Amino acid sequence: MINIITNRDLEVKSEAKGSERPDGRAYNELRPLKIEAGVLERADGSAYLEFGDNKVLAAVYGPREFHIRRFLKPNMAVLRCRYNMAPFSVEDRKRPGPDRRSLEISKLTSEALSPAVFLEKFPRSSIDVFIEVLQAEGGTRCAGITAASVALADAGIPMRDMVVACAAGKANGQIVMDLSEWEDKEGEADVPVAIMPRTGEITLLQMDGQLTKDEFEQALDLAKEGCMKISVEQKKAIKNRYGGD
Amino acid sequence: MILVEDKDIVVPGEILAEGEYYAGRGTFKDDSKICSALVGLVAIRDDKISVLPLQSKYIPKRGDVVIGKITEVRFSMWNVDINSPYSGILPASDVFGREKRDMNKAFNVGDILFMRVVDVDEVKKVKLGLKGRGLGKFRGGILVEITPTKVPRLIGKKGSMINMIKDHTKCEVVVGQNGLVWVKGKPEMERVVEKVIKTIETEAHTSGLTDRIRVMLNQLLDIEEDVNKEEEEDYKEELIQ
**A178 and A168 in contact (C-beta within 8 Å)?**
yes
- Please determine whether the domains at B9-53 and B65-137 fall in the same fold group of CATH: yes
* 3-state secondary structure at position B208: coil
Read out DSSP for B142-156? EEEE--GGGHHHHH-
- Give which of A79, A113, A242, A245 to mutate to test B binding, by max B Cβ within 10 Å: A242
Among A56-65, A214-223, B217-226, the range scoring the smallest mean pLDDT is: B217-226
B4, B11, B31: which to substitute to probe chain A, counting the most A Cβ within 10 Å? Answer: B11
Of A124, A199, A245, the CB nearest to B124: A124
Give contacts of A 125-184 with B, CB under 8 A. Answer: 125, 153-156, 158-162
Task: Write out residues 170-189 of B within 8 Å (CB-CB) of A.
Answer: none
Homologous superfamily of the A31-241 domain (CATH):
GHMP Kinase, N-terminal domain (3.30.230.70)
- Asked if residue A106 lies in contact with residue A148, where contact means CB atoms within 8 angstroms, the answer is no
The Cα of B72 is separated from the nearest Cα of chain A by a number of Å equal to: 15
Helix (H, G, I), strand (E, B) or coil at A84: strand
User: pLDDT at residue A14 above 60?
Assistant: no
* B160-169 and B187-202 helices, crossing angle to 10°: 150
Where is average pLDDT lowest: A3-12, A100-109, B124-133? A3-12
- Kind and range of the H or E run holding B88: strand B88-91
Tell whether domain B65-137 is in CATH 2.60.120.10: no
pLDDT value at position A23? 86
Segment B25-43 mean pLDDT: 92
Average pLDDT on B210-228 reads 83
pLDDT of the residue at B203: 84
Highest mean pLDDT: which range of A125-129, B145-149, B155-159: A125-129
Is B55 close to A155, i.e. CB distance below 8 A? yes
Q: Which CATH class is domain B9-53?
A: mainly beta
DSSP E strand stretches across chain A: 33-37, 45-51, 54-65, 78-85, 125-135, 164-171, 174-177, 189-196, 201-205, 208-209
Question: In Å, how far are B76, B103, B111, B138, B140 from B91, measured between CA atoms?
Answer: 6, 10, 15, 18, 24
- Average pLDDT (A67-81) is 93
Whether B210 and chain A come into contact, CB under 8 Å, resolves to no
Q: Provide the percentage of residues in chain B whose pLDDT is more than 90.
A: 53
Q: Where are the domains of chain B?
A: 9-53, 65-137, 142-225
A83 strand-pairing partners: A131
DSSP-derived secondary structure for B31-54: TTEEEE-SSEEEEEETTEEEEEES
Answer yes or no: do A156 and B35 touch at CB < 8 A. no
pLDDT at B206 over 80: no
> Residue A1: is its pLDDT beyond 50?
no
| Gyration radius (Cα) of chain A, Å | 18
User: What's the mean pLDDT in A45-60?
Assistant: 96
B167 touches A at CB < 8 Å:
no
Residue percentage of chain A with pLDDT more than 90: 85
- Grade residue A90 by pLDDT with cuts at 50, 70 and 90: very high
- CATH number assigned to the domain with residue range B142-225, chosen from the 4 options 3.30.1330.10, 3.20.20.140, 3.40.50.10540, 3.30.1370.10: 3.30.1370.10
Segment A202-222, tens digit of pLDDT: 999 999 999 999 999 999 999
Give residue A11's pLDDT band: very low, low, confident or very high (50, 70, 90). Answer: very low
Amino acid identity, position B80: V
Report which of B214, B220, B213, B87 is spatially closest to residue B150, judged by C-alpha positions: B213
Q: Please report the pLDDT score of residue B99 as a whole number.
A: 75
B144-157 mean pLDDT: 90
Number of helical (H) and strand (E) elements in chain A, helices listed first = 5, 10
pLDDT value at residue A2? 54
C-beta atoms of A198 and B13 within 8 A: yes
Residue of A nearest to B29 (CA): A160
pLDDT band at A17 (very low <50, low <70, confident <90, very high): low
pTM of the model: 0.88
